[in-house]
Structure 1
Amino acid sequence: MVGVISKPDTQQKLEILSDDAKYDLACACGTRRDEHRTRGGNGRWIYPVTLPNGGTSVLLKTLVSNVCSNDCKYCPLRENQDIRRCTLSPEETARVFLDYHDRKEVFGLFLSSGVIGTPDATMERLNATARILRGKHRFKGYIHLKVIPGASDAAIDEAVSLASAVSLNIETPGAAHLARLSSRKDYLRDIIRPIKRISELTAQGSRFAKVKQTTQFIVGPAGESDAEIVKYMWGLYDRLRMHRIYFNAFQKGLGDPTLSAESAEGQGAAARPADPFMREHRLYQVDFLMRKYGFTDADIPYDNGGYLSLEIDPKEGWAARHPEFFPVHVNKASQRELLRVPGLGPVTVQRILELRRTQRVQGLEQLGRVGARLEKARPFLVF
């Protein structure tokens, strides 16, 4: 039986829906400290978001509704769960956001939702909220809209026209894995088709080129390997020009008991990484290597089961498998070659390139304070 609150007020709804929104990370959370979500007052989560100028701001993040007609086995809000259900109207959502915004507590809005009846009926509520803010209240700031799997092209087009950023969760690397989690979603029709549509609408040179698209993998419940996730990550970045990819480690106790990930004896349990949050962290490191270091999916090292090492980061793993690449000559190497060195990041590599224009680099000490991270680079370099 589903628990329904009888005529909850707007604040009660916000407390419930903002808390339930924490399961979707496709706007923030990553490897940097300033990318992590924090809990604010009044029952809301505050999320940092990177702005086009490189700075950060904070978002009010909430669901429009936690009512959902889907059966996703990993999701604590799936249809057959006995939880408190409620829905905010577009007017309520806009009013709540503007209240926080006018007090300068938040500077942007992230809207998502469970599926209320049909994908397009849900999209209408999300888009209507954005229409109210953009049209009636002339709000020109940051709005991130979740695109519901299975949404029509018309609903997607309107969301892109209203939003600063949009996201549709890819969830799994491939149809076979999604089929283990949901009997109601068609991977190609409901997920890949809309993602491709958004990519077309936001392509370089298009009318909505400034709108960013992000997505999220749910890590663990479908029994996928890291190698499968990374292959799809590369495709999303290389072919569909995804702006960012996020990862959400599945937490035991929230999913359907029939999921193998809920059981220590489930299929493939022995091969699965023991620490789901370290696994999530390693995937974020791979994401960073792809976006900032010039790595491709073919460069990423795995164990025999297709998983990333939990003991060393993937860049160190690559270095260990390619001793022929080292040592790298600090004064002769290209930017790409320097970025392959463990302990050297984009900022340090840029510093090396700038120093080389006027002088010969003779030691790590010229690059600044030699901490543990920079010291890691010493065995891989010659001067």
Structure 2
Amino acid sequence: MDTQSKLDILSRDAQYDLSCACGTKNPNEHRKRDNTGSGWLYPTTTASGGPGIVLKTLLGNRCVNDCKYCPLRTGQDFRPVALSPSEMASFFYDFQAKRPLLGLFLSSAVMGDAGGTMEMLVSTAKILRNRYHYKGYIHLKVIPGSTKESIDEALKYASALSLNIETPGEHHFSKLTDAKNYVQDILEPLKYIASQTARGSQYQRVHTSSQFIVGASNELDKEILFYTSRMYKELHVGRLYFSAYQRGLGDSSLPGEQVAAPKQAQLELFDGLPSIPLQDQGLLTREHRLYQADWLLRKYGFNFEELSFGQEGNLSLDDDPKLAWAKANIDFYPLSIKRAPKEALLRVPGLGPTYVNRIIDKRRNTPISCLEDLHLPFSTLEKARPFITM
């Protein structure tokens, strides 16, 4: 097989890792591929929030691990494919020279052992930096169980590193795999990455992220978001992602509700416009709510203790988390558009940082006589109107 044929397979298999993507207004937006016909190109967002296209692929797809949610786990029947570091680096450099890309997102199944696979990932980045003098973005996925030495090598060449935490705690993790150790393979490497990329350290420029698998181990939103808040505060992770478990692709022995969808429908999930089986719609909405709650923690000044959960410990599927908080704290409103501080206005449903900053700038410079003077989009104003006053 030539390199492009291998990439067609490996990039398709990379669809199960969404942590270079972004959950935005449309919960399925990050599942769409670039519309150029090149299946290995994915739309994503930069650390600053801007749009971009990355070449996203695995280096190899034959895994020795047994993660029950993953179709690439050991024992599955599919065609094994792998690229060498020099083959991957050469193809990417030639391709991005013809079409400017944001960069490369490179992951891999664990081929043989964690150390050898991590060495291959780092070698790819090293070749790009040293042989081709590539100065762009390189995101490397850290293989669970990687040593401190291999992480140190990755930090030298990567713009970003990520290692999936997968579940909120060892209890849930043990339901998904017998081959990996939660503390040694996941938590310890995450802590080491945090220590090496902390503010003031040599590699503070390296962006870090991680990802939860949602719905595979009967975990609760409350548990996921508790871990999320701790990872932001204690590990200073730059970004966390939430990936809805794709029923029908993983193992039927998983504790989560299993409703197998037709194989064709599952494949269409990542080809152009998504075709989502009806039984997965609720899980994708749940994923979207987790992204919204994550924004409250990162951008809106909320603490974990302020998030509203149902009796079962999950976020509401009907209301976004900020609206749910507003309904539970109705005495906090209405807020004066003319006098309320920024921190309070950020708690108004419909108002994000951009619109709040616009309101503050406007009231500083011009008199506001009615809400329409704010020149907010109609849908935004209607959502905010019950919670604000002149």
TM > 0.5 between the two?
yes
The answer to whether the 8 A contact 1:300-1:318 is kept is yes
Match of 1:294 among 296, 301, 310: 301
**CA deviation digits over 1:247-286, x for unaligned, max 9?**
1101110111111225369xxxxxx997110000101101
Query: Counterparts of 1:58 and 1:65 in 2: how far apart (Å)?
Result: 21
Give 1:159's aligned residue. 154
The answer to whether the 8 A contact 1:127-1:158 is kept is yes
Give 1:108's aligned residue. 103
- Whether 1:311 and 2:318 are equivalent positions in the alignment is yes
TM-score computed with the length of structure 2 as normaliser: 0.91
Structure 2 residue ranges without an equivalent (≥5): 261-278
Q: Which amino acid in 2 is paired with 1:19? A: R
**CA deviation digits over 1:136-184, x for unaligned, max 9?**
1100100000000100000011111110001000100000000000011
CA drift at 1:370: 3.9
Give 1:284's aligned residue. 291
Give 2:179's aligned residue. 184
Match of 1:355 among 346, 362, 366: 362
Give 2:90's aligned residue. 95
- 5 Å-filtered alignment, 1:13-52, equals 13-32=6-25, 37-39=32-34, 40-52=36-48
Q: Give the CA RMSD over aligned residues.
A: 1.9
Between 100-109 and 315-324, report the one with greater CA deviation.
100-109
CA drift at 1:361: 2.8
The answer to whether the 8 A contact 1:253-1:262 is kept is no
Give 1:74's aligned residue. 69
Match of 2:245 among 227, 250, 262: 250
Give 2:264's aligned residue. none
Query: Counterparts of 1:47 and 1:332 in 2: how far apart (Å)?
Result: 40
**Do the aligned partners of residues 372 and 230 (structure 1) sit closer, same or farther apart at CA in structure 2, a change above 3 Å counting?**
same
**Do the aligned partners of residues 221 and 49 (structure 1) sit closer, same or farther apart at CA in structure 2, a change above 3 Å counting?**
same
The answer to whether the 8 A contact 1:29-1:36 is kept is no
**Do the aligned partners of residues 203 and 339 (structure 1) sit closer, same or farther apart at CA in structure 2, a change above 3 Å counting?**
same
CA drift at 1:45: 3.3
Q: Which amino acid in 1 is paired with 2:180? A: K
Paired positions, count: 369
CA drift at 1:334: 1.0
The answer to whether the 8 A contact 1:25-1:246 is kept is yes
CA drift at 1:369: 4.0
Between 273-282 and 20-29, report the one with greater CA deviation.
273-282
CA drift at 1:100: 1.4
Give 2:165's aligned residue. 170
TM-score computed with the length of structure 1 as normaliser: 0.92
The answer to whether the 8 A contact 1:364-1:370 is kept is no
Give 1:123's aligned residue. 118
- Whether 1:63 and 2:58 are equivalent positions in the alignment is yes
Between 291-300 and 255-264, report the one with greater CA deviation.
255-264
Query: Counterparts of 2:195 and 2:43 in 1: how far apart (Å)?
Result: 28
CA drift at 1:74: 0.3
Q: Secondary structure at the match of 1:38?
A: coil
**CA deviation digits over 1:96-119, x for unaligned, max 9?**
111210111533100000001111
**Do the aligned partners of residues 36 and 346 (structure 1) sit closer, same or farther apart at CA in structure 2, a change above 3 Å counting?**
farther
**Do the aligned partners of residues 213 and 37 (structure 1) sit closer, same or farther apart at CA in structure 2, a change above 3 Å counting?**
farther
Between 249-258 and 102-111, report the one with greater CA deviation.
102-111
CA drift at 1:127: 0.2
CA drift at 1:382: 1.6
**Do the aligned partners of residues 370 and 136 (structure 1) sit closer, same or farther apart at CA in structure 2, a change above 3 Å counting?**
closer
Give 1:85's aligned residue. 80
Q: Secondary structure at the match of 2:86?
A: helix
Q: Which amino acid in 1 is paired with 2:94? A: D
Match of 1:193 among 188, 197, 202: 188
The answer to whether the 8 A contact 1:66-1:114 is kept is yes
**Do the aligned partners of residues 36 and 221 (structure 1) sit closer, same or farther apart at CA in structure 2, a change above 3 Å counting?**
closer
**Do the aligned partners of residues 243 and 90 (structure 1) sit closer, same or farther apart at CA in structure 2, a change above 3 Å counting?**
same
Query: Counterparts of 1:295 and 1:242 in 2: how far apart (Å)?
Result: 17
Structure 1 residue ranges without an equivalent (≥5): 1-7, 266-271
**CA deviation digits over 1:76-130, x for unaligned, max 9?**
1001111111110001101111121011153310000000111111000000000
Give 1:3's aligned residue. none
Q: Secondary structure at the match of 1:84?
A: coil
**Do the aligned partners of residues 30 and 255 (structure 1) sit closer, same or farther apart at CA in structure 2, a change above 3 Å counting?**
same
Query: Counterparts of 2:32 and 2:203 in 1: how far apart (Å)?
Result: 28
Q: Which amino acid in 1 is paired with 2:12? A: D
CA drift at 1:357: 1.6
User: Highest relative contact order (Cα 8 Å, sep 6+), 1 or 2?
Assistant: 2
